[in-house]
Structure 1
């Protein structure tokens, strides 16, 4: 369970970070373009990417609460 949470948190963090860099600078390609599939998030890309990055960090931090089975 711990490793699954760490991997999911890392994927969310990389997705949010790369999307944020892409929206601000236009330099880095978006790694995961699944946000384009949700029509209600199209005008709020910067905020969505910030939330994804913070959620990824929180998920990785919460993975330490689980013990290895």
Structure 2
């Protein structure tokens, strides 16, 4: 379970960074920009993904290694 939380945290961090990079540099990568549902809220969604990634890493750190 710890490993799964770490992987999900890493993916959330990468997608959050990708969304912010896309917004501020117009590089064309990341999943946040592809979701029409988030039109106009890409920066907020990217920051939320960064926070989620940090929270997942914190949860993984509090779990015992199996």
TM range (shorter): 0.7 to 0.9
Alignment gaps of 5+ in structure 1: none
Given the two structures, how large is their TM-score scaled by the length of structure 1?
A: 0.81
Question: 1: CA distance between counterparts of 2:59 and 2:39?
Answer: 29
Alignment coverage as a number of residue pairs = 66
* Aligned residues of 1:15 and 1:30 also touching (Cα < 8 A): no
SS in 2 for 1:68: coil
Q: CA RMSD in A?
A: 1.7
Given the two structures, how large is their TM-score scaled by the length of structure 2?
A: 0.84
